[in-house]
A and B are shown apart, each in its own frame.
Chain A
């Protein structure tokens, strides 16, 4: 179960450094963060390796779930790696890790989100090696499910 990840990509007509700023500055995060019908009334970001972030996710029913974690790698304006915990880890399961890349494209930049589950310390250390397998695996899973 260690090799579990998903990748979502989106090309946006805005430069990478602008997107990096939107992704890391609370005044912007509160303006855009979250999926449909979720708002972000509060965001806290300590943008340094080991620094913490907290994002409030207000759900349609009025309840708030905090997504939080700490930064593992920061390469402004191209790449961010951070842990991702939803609410209370004891309730929602093992922590996961998110890698966001902002890759320059002719029309702007492509945002690539890789969201992985962290099975154990060994996985955490060798995550680079696992990515290719994850992508192949995701395809296999999709085919198996289809």
Chain B
């Protein structure tokens, strides 16, 4: 999933889809790249489970599936705080209990 997010165009596509579903043509409009190039990015996002594509006649509509993103952000956020504070506590205790450095 993270490699899917590593490209600025794909992050921009997700940001657009956060406002609501859009057709592939609508998604491609703001970008100065070809439709096939946009389709390729959409496929990457689809494979990462971040985007759902439905087809009606010749129109492909894309919608954001934010659940994996939220899930990942929750995990990272929760443990970022946990470990930062836990290492603060370790530092305070370790520096108070550390043996004196040997002087040369």
Task: Tell me the A18-35 residues at the B interface (CB within 8 Å).
Answer: 18-19, 22-23, 28, 31-35
Task: Please name all residues of chain A whose beta carbon is closer than 8 Å to the beta carbon of B73 when the two chains form the complex.
Answer: 141, 145
For the complex, is B34 an interface residue (Cβ under 8 Å from A)?
no
- In the assembled complex, the Cα of A4 lies from the Cα of B49 at a distance in Å of 14
Task: Tell me the B71-87 residues at the A interface (CB within 8 Å).
Answer: 71-73, 75-76, 79-87
Q: Which residues of A contact B (CB under 8 A)?
A: 1, 3-4, 6, 8, 10, 12-15, 18-19, 22-23, 28, 31-36, 108, 111, 113, 115, 117, 133-134, 136-138, 140-141, 143-145
Q: Which residues of B contact A (CB under 8 A)?
A: 1-3, 5-6, 11, 14-15, 49, 68-69, 71-73, 75-76, 79-95, 97-99, 101
Q: Can you list 24 A-B contacts with CB-CB less than 8 angstroms, sorted by A residue number?
A: A1-B72, A4-B1, A4-B72, A4-B75, A4-B76, A6-B75, A6-B79, A6-B80, A8-B87, A12-B87, A12-B95, A14-B95, A14-B98, A15-B101, A22-B90, A31-B93, A32-B89, A33-B89, A36-B88, A108-B98, A111-B90, A113-B87, A133-B2, A140-B5
